[in-house]
Structures are given as C-alpha cells and as structure tokens.
Amino acid sequence: MKALSDPLRDMDWHDEQDRMILGARLAKSSPEVVYQELKRAAAARTSRFGRLPVDEASLLGRNDPLINLALAAFGTQSEVLETLRDVAIADEVEGDDSAYKRSLRTALLSNLAVAENTDFTFYPRICGIDFIKNIIADAGRSDELTALIRNPNVPDKVLEDLYGRAGAFSEAGIDQWRFLIQKSAGIERLNDERTSIESDGDVSFDTGYLRIHKAIFRLLETAPVDKYWSYCLIELLRHLVPFYDRDSSMHVPLRIDHVLKRWTDVGLKDEDKGWNEGYLTGNPLATELRCLIASRYPRIEGQKQPGSSSSKDIALRVAFYARSDLPIAEMKAANERDKAAYQLAAMSNPSILTDRMKREFFEKEQLCFVGERGDKTGRMDSLDELYVRTITHLAKMSSSSGRDLMKRLAAAGDEIDGVDRDASVRQVAASFRKKMSFGATYFMLFLNGAALAFAGAQFGYMGSAFVLALQTACVGLICLDRRKSELPSSPS
C-alpha cells in the first residue's frame, strides 16, 4: 500500500534539499540571484558562529562586483571578508570606482557576522580600530560608520568609545562626533539590558550596558553647550526607555544638579526662534533637555530628593515627579501646573506605572488628551509613542519587580498596542515565582535546620524525626511550586 504524502514533511525536506545544493546552484547563477540567495541564507542563520551553506571563496573567485558586495554584506568566512576589506581600503588609483569601494566598506560594517566577532580590543576583528580611524580621517564618509553604529550586533566597546570620544573615535571632529551620536539614537542596544536571574537566584548584571550608560551620562557632563548639541542630546535621551528598577544595570549617578545647571543656557539668540521649542513638552530647547535629564536618572535609595513640587525650576519639579510616590491629588496638581513636562516625568515613575489605579488615571485622564497636545482622534504624538515604548520594555523585563509588573500588565487590557500581554504576564510571573522559590528554599532550610537541632535537644529522637519529616514536606512543596513556574501556562 502506498504511503500518504505529508505536505509539511515534504516542505521541510525540500528546504533541506535546497540548502544542500545551494552552493552548486549559485556557482551557475547570475550575480543578481547570488545576491538575493546570500541575503536569504544570512537571514536564516541561527548561530552567531554559523556559516553560510556555500563556498564563499569560490564565489569570490568570480570577481563580480555585485557578488563581492553580497559577500561583504552577508558573508561569514573570515578569509573572504579580510580580502574584501583589503580591497575596500586600498589606495585608489586611476580607474578605480570610488563609489564601489565605499559601498564595500558600508557592507562590511553593516554585516552582522562582522560586528559580532571581536578581537582583543573588543572591536570588530575584520573592521577594527585602524579601519574605523581611516574612515573618520575622511570627514566626508561618516555615513559609512552609521552602518556599524546602527548594526544590531554593534559591540558594546564601540558604543562606549563613541559616547566617550575615545578609542577609534578619539580623533573625530566635533561635528562628526555629534553626527555619529545623533545617528545612534534609538538603536536597540541602548534599551536592551541583558541583566538576568541565574538558576541559583543571583542576579547577573549587564556590565556592557552599564559602561555604555556611564559614557552617556559623562557625555552630558562634557559635551559642548550649544543649540546643536542640545538637539542631539534630546534626540538621544528621548529614545531611552525611562524606567529603572532595583535589579537594573542602568547607571545611576550620585547627583544630577550639576548637569541640570550646565544646560540652563544653550546660547540661543533672537534669530534662533525656530530652534527654541522642544517637540516632547513644547518648552524651550534647553528646558526640554533639562527635563529629559531630570526624568531619566533615578534617585539612589536614601539620597536626598533634588527638588520638590514647589521648586521654581521646572527641571527640579520634574525630578521630583519622576522619583516620588505621588498620590492622585498631587498627580492632578502637577499636571495642571507643568502639563507635558509632568507627563514625561510620570513615565519614569515606578509608583505610577506599577499601581493600577494611578496608571489608569494617568493613561485615561492625563496622557492622551491634555491641553493643546491633541484631541480625541487617537492621534499618536511623541509622548504617547514614548509611553508605548516604555510599556513594551516593561513587558520584557525579568526582575524583582515582576509581581507588580504582572498585575499591571494583566490590567492593561487593550489600551496599549504592540504588547503581547499574555506572554508577558506568563514570562514575568514565572521569573518572579522562580526567583522567590529559590529564596524561600534557602530560608526554609535554615529554619527547619534550627528547629531540628532544637527538637533533638528538647525531645530526643522522636522530636528530631518529626521535624525532619516536616522539613522534607516543606522542601518538596517549594520544589513543586518551582517546577510549576517553569511550565508554560495554558492559554486562557
């Protein structure tokens, strides 16, 4: 009897079959087909050390400009990429296509495989410090570096040195440096904190993330104070998710008052009227930057509050709004006084975001339809967009604040778009229960051990046996709870 064909099985086999003969097929294909197939194969690469299922050296041997560009952008074999790098940086001679060489450099810097493999300097091994300095030396080629800075796999050291004007960026001109920083605004790594909770309950901090954000704060302390840098820093800070929790690797400075004072006057003149209005709060450019700084950096526990609701300086009021446990009556007063500047601060306030009543009041009564910021047409403006990014980021967090986040996300309903709430609640809840079960295990072992010693001393053998049985039962229940927390929840 002939077996029935399984379409899904056959589809999987055809994909595997195509992968096995891809190299031979590309050897006979046009450059346009090779480019598209290498792009598709690179997108299917699942391991950072995985290679494309083709002989890249053989394709390089065809010496076709389009194929070489595809290898530079999607290739994985070091020898091939090094050869293309040498071609890209070779001194130009008469007859060279300078635009093609620039494209090769851009392709190499944007290659995910190139960016994720670093050398002892923690720069890309193929396109290292000297390669980047060579590009920086030609001020007209800053767009090539944008490919590296916005590469999803950009090494942490590159970003740290960019914000600190160090390493490969130490000789960058002031305008070029500002251009590159502005280009980095919104890249994934700036909000992709990789702090995690280990199996033993300890927190593994993301030191690369910490160094990057230390460099950003240092930039606020050292960057030239003028309108161009004000705009650049607003663009950088407004893309940072404004929420911090106690297990975060986020840099928390000891003080911010000196930075707020530094940016009080950015030198705007009468002819700069077009510059003098921020697009998050509608306040003057310098004021908006100071409000962003005040809202982004949390107060260290036990540290004196840098402002109050009655401060004359709006930036100090924003600092207070972002750090204080505000009752709803104070939220109303703050919104009436400072409107969008207060709303910006409220997005950084965990006591608002994790309290259902306050969060719903903020979302329904304050954020969307306040003053001149919009009408009830559902229009998304800059603050609304920032809030959605904040909530989305919270949904991905795995930290000691998991219980509050779980409750808040469960109550969010359909009010916030772009968040897989069911998956987020399960993820956060499981993480919280797992961490707490480990802590409870150690605590219960300690208590029962003490009880065992006490019972033995007071009641002898029978007392010790009873307490030992109780200890075994308690540990078993806790381990069962941990096991349940690791199982996927059934859909509701």
| 375 is a domain residue | no
Among 369, 328, 367, 382, residue whose Cα is nearest residue 351: 328
pLDDT over 90 (residue 163): yes
- pTM value is 0.73
**DSSP state letters, 186-249:** T-GGGG----EE-TTS-EE--HHHHHHHHHHHHHHHHS--SHHHHHHHHHHHHTS-----TT--
Q: Report the C-alpha gap between 386 and 418 in whole angstroms.
A: 12
Compute the distance between CA of residue 110 and CA of residue 73 in angstroms, rounded to an integer.
7
* 196-197 vs 203-204, strand pairing mode: antiparallel
pLDDT digits (tens, 9 = 90+) for 252-262: 787 888 999 99
Q: Is residue 392 part of a domain?
A: no
Residue 264 lies inside a defined structural domain of this protein: no
Distance (Å, whole) CA 416 – CA 423: 15
Residue 108 predicted with pLDDT over 90: yes
Q: What is the pLDDT of residue 410?
A: 47
Q: Which of 121, 152, 184 is the last residue of a domain?
A: 184
Confidence grade of residue 142 (pLDDT, cut at 50, 70, 90): confident
In whole angstroms, give the CA distance from residue 227 to residue 272.
Answer: 9
With contact defined as beta carbons under 8 Å apart, do 245 and 255 qualify? no
Give a yes or no: residue 40 inside a domain: yes
Query: Is position 281 within any domain?
Result: no
Please return the burial class of 472, using the count of CB atoms within 10 Å of its CB with bins 0-12, 13-18 and 19+.
exposed
pLDDT at 84: 95
**Can you give the pLDDT at residue 458?**
65
10-14, 239-243, 313-317: which has the minimum mean pLDDT? 10-14
Contacts 24+ apart (CB under 8 A), 82-90: 82/126, 84/60, 84/108, 85/126, 85/127, 85/131, 89/131, 89/134
| pLDDT over 60 (residue 420) | no
pLDDT at 17 over 80: no
Q: Which domain holds residue 472?
A: 427-492
Closest to 319 in 3D by CA, of 340, 303, 301, 296: 296
Domain assignment present for residue 363? The answer is no
Which of 184, 208, 231 corresponds to the end of one domain?
A: 184
Residue 184, classified by CB atoms within 10 Å of its CB into exposed (0-12), middle (13-18) or buried (19+), is buried
What's the pLDDT at 266? 85
Pick the last residue of a domain from 184, 207, 237.
184
Q: How far apart are CA 386 and CA 125, in angstroms?
A: 36
Find the mean pLDDT for residues 26-35: 91
Domain total in the chain: 2
Q: What is the phi/psi pair of residue 143, to 5°? A: -65, -25
| Domain membership flag for residue 215 | no
Q: Is the dihedral of CA 473, 475, 476, 482 positive or negative?
A: positive
**What rounded mean pLDDT belongs to the chain?**
76
State whether residue 61 is helix, strand or coil. Answer: coil
In a domain, 453, yes or no: yes
pLDDT digits (tens, 9 = 90+) for 327-346: 999 999 999 999 889 998 99
